[in-house]
């Protein structure tokens, strides 16, 4: 029975939603949210009885928090897709060094019995040699080039090392597909919100989406019970990017592959989305994962399919458009 | 061919030329039966009353076509259609890709099909065929049309052949995406097994680049059949293997030479020179109008071997050889039977 839960990345969407849910759950003794960035007051109200610790997980302070509060479950949800104000290098630093510090603290802790790590299906990379659907055992056909995907691969490596050193701790690695929903701010929601959506000429990637509520629910289930192992988490079914853009009522601007990094640069400088080499190849080939292990072993079937998740996002967006 | 081999020159029926017989379409018979309605039968009167007053054929065909076309356009523009995990888009395939290939199939290559009774009406099966073409691997597209044409039942659309393609196909802009939408996916064991488990008809051309790029003098000589990966997938899933022999496809772009240096520079597996390509520019891409025969052979059942035999190389090589021999001997038989390349 988990009683004291520590959540990293509580300023981000998933961390905050999870903290709010756990705070409302009376079987959980304490919820501690950690983040290096300040929370807005409104966010604090939503989080209920969550205790907020403003700390950088790269700082050894985190070990003290673990020990003093006798934390038994650590949820590492801080791995970020959207880069902060400082640019790419600090994000990478936060992702990698932060994970190392956190895992080091967990390794020395006597109270921690469960670790949940939020990862991404981007670890499988994206390319022409990809199988139609990745299962958890498969590795990327080519090493993901840079960006967030590379961070995620390295973070998972650290986690595997940690699992070897502390086999008594139940570790879940949750690989989330592209997140979407009416309230979440993800690279995909930013991308589809552009009035004209630049796509790669001659390519149409397959997208598999995960609704925000399903992502939070899987995180919550992994937090309150032991589900050791690696799980792909994604909604049923697939849509083509062209389909998604049409359903969103946007226009596509197909750009030749050679120019896509140039466009990417412009987009990047405008601060809309991060556009790394890995995302450029994602725009060509997309990625689909097999979720049968999630259903069979984890025991969860995402409530919203890819199409329903997209619909939910689009409905939510048109609602906010009307308000504005 | 170093060794003498007895090749049955005539089909199963003595003296009959099965290649000449165009197999009857499955759709025709039930349709003809359905049109005979007992008009004055007290038992079925109530049913007869439910039938539309005018037969369906009386509705102007063009009217319906326009309505269907508009409905299709509306679906496409709204993105309101479903695809599967592999990216197969049945809506596009049924309404655009197959209708576009149909004239090529009917008028240009005048494809004649044998052995449609060997195509299962449901459940998975692995179709293995010879590969040629030089520039275009049109044999895969034509096989897909043949399968779709001969498995349909009345208004029910036929089955789709899910083709396994090389990675180069999916690297290419435009054509790779189109191939995926038409049902192709990467030729790798996980994909083949996933499709077969899903009960799909899967098409594989194990000769690969060696097949499509082979010189004209080697036409209808099967190249090496990969490493038997396709047999592995069939054994693992217990799906039957249907050998498919295609005659006519190996004359559409006679490869006279292969410019290896240019191929290396362009990062292609081969660079063919044909009588028309690249001399005539884009016109050189037009295939020669050879007469085609596609024969679906008798299924080779893999389920008796059991899934665990997939890891037994002896079984693997044995079945691979059997499939190869069947296709090769059928090719020789069809070649002897045909009157000319063009008719």
pTM of this prediction? Answer: 0.84
Q: Tell me if B85 and A130 make a contact (CB, 8 A cut-off).
A: no
pLDDT at residue A37, as a whole number: 78
Q: Which residues of A touch B170 (CB under 8 A)?
A: 128-129, 285
Domains and CATH numbers, chain A: 4-180+210-235+288-302 (3.40.50.720)
Of A146-155, B35-44, B122-131, the one with minimum mean pLDDT is: B35-44
Q: From the list A128, A243, A246, which residue is nearest B171 (CB)?
A: A128
Q: Are B98 and B299 in contact (CB under 8 A)?
A: no
Indicate whether B57 pLDDT > 90: no
pLDDT tens per residue, range A21-30: 999 988 999 9
Of A232-246, A292-306, B115-129, B216-230, the one with minimum mean pLDDT is: B216-230
pLDDT tens per residue, range B61-91: 888 889 989 999 999 999 899 999 999 999 9
Q: Which residues of B touch A206 (CB under 8 A)?
A: 83, 85, 87, 180
In a domain, B71, yes or no: yes
Residues in chain A, overall count: 324
CA A82 to CA A273: how far, in whole Å?
7
Indicate whether B144 pLDDT > 80: yes
pLDDT tens per residue, range A203-241: 999 999 999 999 999 999 999 999 999 999 999 999 999
Indicate whether A168 pLDDT > 90: yes
Q: From the list B81, B86, B167, which residue is nearest A132 (CB)?
A: B86
The domain that holds B144 is classified in CATH as 3.40.1130
Calculate how close chain A gets to B80, using CA atoms only, in Å: 7
Residues 299-318 of A with CB under 8 A from B: 307
pLDDT at residue A22, as a whole number: 92
Q: Range of B222's domain?
A: 66-337
In a domain, B60, yes or no: no
Indicate whether A39 pLDDT > 90: no
Q: Which residues of B touch A247 (CB under 8 A)?
A: 78-80
**pLDDT, average across residues A38-58:** 77
Indicate whether A36 pLDDT > 50: yes
pLDDT at residue B108, as a whole number: 93
In a domain, B22, yes or no: no
In a domain, B180, yes or no: yes
B303 touches chain A (CB under 8 A): no
Q: What is the ipTM of this complex?
A: 0.86
pLDDT at residue A171, as a whole number: 96
Question: Which pLDDT band holds residue B27 (cuts at 50, 70, 90)?
Answer: very low
Q: Is A65 exposed, middle or buried (0-12, 13-18, 19+ CB in 10 A)?
A: middle
Q: Which residues of B touch A129 (CB under 8 A)?
A: 167, 170, 186, 188
In a domain, B54, yes or no: no
Q: Which residues of B touch A239 (CB under 8 A)?
A: 79, 83
In a domain, B266, yes or no: yes
pLDDT tens per residue, range B248-304: 998 888 888 888 888 888 888 888 888 888 888 888 888 989 999 999 999 999 999
Q: Tell me if A238 and B87 make a contact (CB, 8 A cut-off).
A: yes
Q: Tell me if B82 and A237 make a contact (CB, 8 A cut-off).
A: yes
Kindly state the tokens that stand for A45.
Answer: 């109200």
DSSP string, B168-187: HHHHSTTHHHHHHHTT-EE-
In a domain, B52, yes or no: no
B166 touches chain A (CB under 8 A): no
Of A40-54, A210-224, B35-49, B264-278, the one with minimum mean pLDDT is: B35-49
pLDDT at residue B323, as a whole number: 94
Q: Tell me if B190 and A133 make a contact (CB, 8 A cut-off).
A: yes
Say how many domains are in chain B.
Answer: 1
Kindly state the tokens that stand for B289.
Answer: 């109008």
Q: Are A91 and A83 in contact (CB under 8 A)?
A: yes
pLDDT at residue A253, as a whole number: 87
Q: Which residues pair with A116 in a beta bridge?
A: A75, A172
pLDDT at residue B153, as a whole number: 77
Q: Which residues of A touch B182 (CB under 8 A)?
A: none
**pLDDT, average across residues B9-23:** 44
Mutate to test the interface with B, among A125, A126, A128, A314 (most CBs of B within 10 A): A128
Q: Which residues of B touch A138 (CB under 8 A)?
A: 190
Q: Tell me if A285 and B186 make a contact (CB, 8 A cut-off).
A: no
Residue A34's H or E segment, with its range, is: strand A30-35
Mutate to test the interface with A, among B167, B177, B186 (most CBs of A within 10 A): B177
pLDDT at residue A2, as a whole number: 52
- Cis bond before residue A149 (omega within 30° of 0): no
Q: From the list B79, B84, B173, which residue is nearest A247 (CB)?
A: B79
Q: What are residue B174's phi and psi, to 5 degrees?
A: 80, -70
pLDDT at residue A281, as a whole number: 81
Q: From the list A204, A244, A257, which residue is nearest B177 (CB)?
A: A204
């Amino acid at each position: 029975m988990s009683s004291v839960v520590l959540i990293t990345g509580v300023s981000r969407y998933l961390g905050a939603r999870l903290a709010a849910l756990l705070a409302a759950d009376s079987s959980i003794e304490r919820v501690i949210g950690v983040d290096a960035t300040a929370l807005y007051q409104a966010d604090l109200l939503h989080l209920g009885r969550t205790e907020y610790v403003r700390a950088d997980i790269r700082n050894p302070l985190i070990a003290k928090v673990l020990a003093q509060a006798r934390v038994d479950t650590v949820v590492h949800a801080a791995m970020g897709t959207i880069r902060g104000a400082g640019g790419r290098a600090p994000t990478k630093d936060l992702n990698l060094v932060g994970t190392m510090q956190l895992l080091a603290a967990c390794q020395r802790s006597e109270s921690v019995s469960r670790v949940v790590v939020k990862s991404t299906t981007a670890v499988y990379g994206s390319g022409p040699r990809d199988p139609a659907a990745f299962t958890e055992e498969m590795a990327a056909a080519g090493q993901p080039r840079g960006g967030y995907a590379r961070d995620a691969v390295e973070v998972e490596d650290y986690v595997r090392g940690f699992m070897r050193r502390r086999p008594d701790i139940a570790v879940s690695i949750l690989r989330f597909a592209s997140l979407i929903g009416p309230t979440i701010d993800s690279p995909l929601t930013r991308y589809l919100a552009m009035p004209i959506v630049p796509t790669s000429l001659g390519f149409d990637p397959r997208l598999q989406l995960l609704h925000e509520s399903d992502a939070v629910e899987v995180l919550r289930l992994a937090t309150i019970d032991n589900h050791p192992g690696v799980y792909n988490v994604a909604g049923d079914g697939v849509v083509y990017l062209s389909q998604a853009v049409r359903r969103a009522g946007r226009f596509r601007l197909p750009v030749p592959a050679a120019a896509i990094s140039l466009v990417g640069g412009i987009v990047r400088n405008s601060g809309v989305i991060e556009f790394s080499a890995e995302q450029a190849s994602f725009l060509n080939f997309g990625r689909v994962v097999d979720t049968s292990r999630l259903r069979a072993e984890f025991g969860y079937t995402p409530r919203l399919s890819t199409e329903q998740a997209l619909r939910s996002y689009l409905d939510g967006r048109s609602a906010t458009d009307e308000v504005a | 061919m170093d060794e003498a081999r007895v090749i049955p020159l005539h089909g199963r029926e003595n003296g009959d030329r099965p290649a000449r017989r165009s197999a009857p379409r499955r759709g025709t018979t039930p349709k003809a039966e359905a049109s005979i309605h007992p008009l004055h039968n007290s038992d079925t009167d109530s049913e007869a009353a439910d039938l539309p007053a005018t037969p369906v054929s009386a509705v102007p065909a063009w009217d319906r076509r326009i309505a269907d076309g508009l409905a299709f356009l509306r679906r496409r523009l709204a993105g309101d259609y479903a695809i599967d995990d592999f990216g197969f888009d049945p809506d596009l395939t049924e309404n655009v890709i197959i209708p576009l290939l149909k004239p090529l199939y009917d008028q240009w290559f005048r494809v004649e099909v044998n052995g449609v009774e060997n195509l299962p009406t449901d459940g998975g099966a692995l179709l293995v065929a010879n590969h040629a073409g030089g520039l275009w691997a049109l044999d895969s597209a034509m096989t897909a049309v043949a399968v779709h044409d001969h498995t349909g039942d009345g208004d029910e659309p036929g089955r789709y052949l899910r083709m396994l393609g090389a990675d180069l196909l999916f690297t290419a802009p435009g054509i790779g995406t189109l191939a995926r939408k038409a049902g192709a996916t990467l030729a790798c064991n996980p994909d083949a097994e996933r499709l077969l488990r899903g009960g799909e008809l899967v098409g594989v051309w194990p000769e690969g680049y060696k097949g499509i790029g082979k010189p004209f003098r080697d036409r209808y000589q099967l190249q090496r059949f990969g490493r038997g990966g396709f047999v592995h997938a069939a054994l693992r899933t217990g799906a039957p293997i249907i050998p498919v022999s295609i005659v006519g496809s190996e004359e559409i772009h006679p490869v006279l030479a292969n410019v290896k240096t240019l191929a290396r520079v362009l990062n292609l597996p081969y660079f063919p020179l044909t009588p028309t390509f690249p001399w005539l520019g884009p016109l050189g891409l037009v295939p020669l109008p050879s007469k085609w025969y596609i024969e679906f052979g008798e299924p080779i059942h893999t389920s008796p071997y059991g899934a665990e035999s997939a890891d037994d190389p002896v079984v693997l090589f044995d079945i691979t050889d059997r499939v190869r021999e069947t296709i090769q001997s059928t090719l020789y038989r069809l070649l002897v039977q045909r009157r000319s390349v063009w008719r």
